[in-house]
Chains A and B, each alone.
Chain A
Amino acid sequence: MNDRARDEELDRRDGLRLTPRVRTIALSLLCSAVLVALPAFAGAPIIVGTTDTMTLALFVLSLNLLVGYAGMISMGHAAFLATGGYVAGLVSKYLGVSMLVAMPAGVLAATLLALVIGFFSIRVTHAYFIMLTLAFGQLVYTIFWKWSSVTGGDDGLIGFAPPQLLEGNVAYYYFTLLVVGVCVFALYRLCRSPFGRMLAAIRDNPDRATSIGVNVRAMKLSAFVIAGLFAAVAGALEAFFHRGMFVNSAHVITSADALVILLLGGRRWFAGPIAGAILYKVLFITIPHFTVYWLFYLGLVILAVALFMPEGVAGVGQLLKRRLADGTPRA
C-alpha cells in the first residue's frame, strides 16, 4: 500500500500519467505479445523450454499464494502438482476420455486432497507447518510409488496423450500459453483483491487480524485449497506434455525446487515466481552443458541469493525501478 501511494506521488510530481496499473497492463501486454509471437522466430528447443517454464511458473505462482501472501511455507506442495497430473493421466488412460475432460478431473481430485491436507496443516504454524506439509507430501509420494499396479510406481504412468490436434510442439505451446495465461490472470486478480490483502494481514499479524474479525482459519484453508488447485493445473499440463507422469513429481525435492525458485525470483511481488522460474530453467538447462556438478553450482547460486539478494530478481527489479523513478539512491 505504501508503495502504491509513493508511486502515485512520484508520478504526480514528474507529471507522468503512467500509474502502476497502466504500467502493469503495458508490461503484461508486451509479455503476451512476445509469447504469442515466439514460435515464429524461435526454434523447437526454445518453444519446448518455454512450455515447461510456463507450467513451472504456474506451479510456483500457486505456491507463492501460500508463501508470499499468506506466509505459510509449504514443503509438500508437489503433492498437488502430482495428484493433478496422475489423476488426469489415469482418467484419460483407463476411462478413455479426452484430455479436456481428464484435466479438470485431475484438478478436482487435487483440490479435494488440498482440502483434506489443508484442514490439518493450517492448525500449526512456522516450523511445524513446514514439517507437517513435508510429512503429508512424502506420504502422498509413498502412495504413488507403492500403488504401482495403478500408477506404475517408479516406472511411471504412460499411455495417454493430448488429442491429435495438440500433439505438436507449437500447438501444445499455445494451449499451455492459453491455460497458464488464464490462471495467471485469475491469480493476479485474486492477490489484488480484498482476499489477498486479508491474507497479507494474517501473514503480518495474525492476532490483529483475528481481532478485526477475520476468520483466520477459513482464509488460510481457502488459500491452501486455491494454491493446490492451480498447482494441479500445472501438473495436468505437464503430464500431457510429457506423455507421462512420474513419481519424482511428488517428491519433496520438487517442493524444495519450487521454494528455491521463490527465493531466486522474489516472493514479495506477484511476478517474482515468473522471473524465478525463467532464471531457474535457464540455469538448469545451461549449467549441465559445462559440468555434471550442476547441483553444486545451483547451491552456490542459492547461497549467493540468500545472502546478498534475498528479495530475488523481482526485488532487484523493484530497487532499480525506484532509483530510476526518483533519480536519487533510496535509503
Chain B
Amino acid sequence: MLRNLLLNVLLGTGLLVGAGVATAQPIKIGVISADSGAWALYGGAGKKGAVLAAEEINAHGGVLGRKLELITGDNKSRPDEASRLFRDMVAGGAEVVVGIVGTGEIQAASTLAREQKVPLLIAFGYGRFLTEEAGHRYFFRLMSNSRAYYGPMVDRIIQGGYTRYCTISNDFAFGRDLVANVMDDLKKRNPKGELVSGCEFWVPVNATDFTTYITAILAQKPQLLMFGGIVGNSLPAFMSQSSQFGLFKQIAGAHPSLGWPGNNAGVKEADIPKKTIISGSDYPYPPVDTPESKAFHSAYTKRWSEGPMSESAHAYATMYFIKAAFEKAGKVDREAFVDAAEGLGFVHPSLGKLTVRPFDHQSNAGVWVGYFGWAKDYNRPGMEDITYVPGDRYLPSEEEVKALRTKK
C-alpha cells in the first residue's frame, strides 16, 4: 500500500512537472515590421500595438495556458528582407506571422506563407488584390482594404451633387489603383459627373512642390478635387500650399484616408479648411467614444508616451484575434487556426465588432467618414461629424472573389 502511495505521488509529481514544463513553452508569434526606411512611421506604430497586446495577453494568463513570445524583426522597408525574415521566423518556431510592412513587401512574404502553409496576418497594406487575386488560405487581413474606404467617400461625393472633378495623386501603385477605382465608380454611379479633361495629375512620390499643379487645377475650375493618392511627405506640403492659394476656399476636396493619423501627421491647424474636405479614417481623432476604444487609447498612451495610429490599433486587434482563434481551435496548430479563424468575430478598438469573411479572409472592416478637421483636445489633425460605414457593401461577393482568383 505504501508502494502504491509512493507510486501515485511520483506519478502525480511527474504529471505536475510535465504540465509545468508544457505551460512554460511559449507560443511564438513572428512580427515583421518596417522599423527603418520609408514605412518606419507605420511599422513602428504597428509593432507597438502588437507588443502592447502581447503584454496584456500574457498578464492575463496567455493563450491556452501558454505565454505569447514575439519574434520581431525589422525588414527595413525592403521586400527581400521581409522574405528572409519570414523564413527565419518560421524556422525559429513561429506558429503564425504578423506583417506590418508595405504592400510590395507583404507580397514577398505572402507567397512564402502559401508555400510553407504558415498563416500570415497583416496590419498594414491596403492593396485589395492581396485578398482578391493574390489571396489564399493562409493570408488574413483584419483591417479594411482600399475598397471599403473609398466606397463611402464616393457615396458622399455623389450625395454632394458634384459633377466636375479633378484628381491629383502620387504616382505609385496605390495611387493609381485608387484613382482608377474611384473614377470608375463615379462614372458608373454618377453619369452626370465627369473628370474635367486634362485635370488628372500625377506627382512623384515624396514630391513637395505643388504650385504648378495647384495653379493648373484652379484654372480648370472644378467643383471637387479628389486627392486621395497624395500621401506621406507630400500631404502636409500639399495642404500648406493649397491653403496659401486658398484652393479649398474655392472648391471642395475629397481624400479617403486623410483622417489616418499616420497620413496627416505634420498638417497644421491653420491649413485645415472647416468642413470642406470629405475624408475617412480607420482610427479617427478624437478617439471613438466606446469603452474598448478609450481603454485602448489610454493603455497605449501610458505604455508608449505617444498616441496610437491606425496600424497600432490593427496590430493590437490582430494579436487578440490570434488569441481567440487558437482558443476556438483548442490547440496550437496552424490548420486548426485557419479553420477557426474563418468567420471568427473580433473587436477592433476603433472599428467595433468585425468578422473575418471565410471565403477571402478579409474582414468586413469599414471606415469612419466625415470631414477632415482639427482634434483640439489632442492637438493634432483629426475628423469631425463622423459616421461609421461598414465594409460589407463594398467588398466583392464570394463568386466575384472566386472568379478573380481563378482567372490569371
Contact = CB atoms under 8 A, between A and B. Distances in A.
Contacts of A115: none
Interface string B35-48: 11000100010000
B78 interface: yes
A152 interface: yes
Contact of B88 (A48, A146, A249): A48
A273 B107 CA distance: 31
A215 to B, nearest CB: 39
A48 B36 CA distance: 22
B231 to A, nearest CB: 12
Interface residues of A, number: 33
A246 B84 CA distance: 14
Given A148-B176, A169-B87, A292-B35, A246 B76 contact: no
B146 to A, nearest CB: 12
A292 B48 CA distance: 14
Interface in B102-142: 103-105, 107-108, 110-112, 115, 127, 134
A104 interface: no
Contact of A161 (B115, B205, B408): B115
A248 interface: yes
Given A52-B84, A238-B80, A292-B35, A152 B108 contact: no
Main SS at interface, chain A: helix
B27 to A, nearest CB: 19
A255 B315 CA distance: 35
B173 interface: yes
A124 to B, nearest CB: 27
B130 to A, nearest CB: 9
Given A288-B36, A292-B36, A242 B83 contact: yes
B79 interface: yes
Interface string B382-408: 000000000000000000000000001
B74 interface: yes
A156 B36 contact: no
A148 B173 contact: yes
B117 to A, nearest CB: 12
Contact of B176 (A153, A238, A241): A153
A292 B40 contact: yes
A155 B172 CA distance: 8
A146 B170 CA distance: 12
Interface string B44-84: 10000000000000000000000000000010101110011
B21 interface: no
B330 interface: no
Contact of B84 (A48, A148, A167): A48
A243 B83 contact: yes
A297 to B, nearest CB: 12
B170 to A, nearest CB: 10
Interface string A151-163: 0111110110100
Contacts of A148: 173, 176
B107 A48 contact: no
Contacts of B87: 44-45, 48, 169
Interface in A237-296: 238, 241-244, 246-249, 288, 292-295
Contact of B173 (A44, A152, A242, A292): A152
Contacts of B36: 288, 292-295
Interface in B211-254: none
A45 B91 contact: yes
Contact of B127 (A155, A248, A295): A155
A49 B173 CA distance: 30
B84 A244 contact: no
Nearest to B83: A242
Contacts of A295: 36
Given A153-B176, A155-B103, A243-B111, 6 more contacts: A155-B107, A161-B111, A242-B79, A243-B83, A243-B108, A294-B76
9 contacts: A45-B92, A146-B171, A241-B83, A242-B83, A242-B108, A248-B79, A249-B80, A292-B36, A294-B76
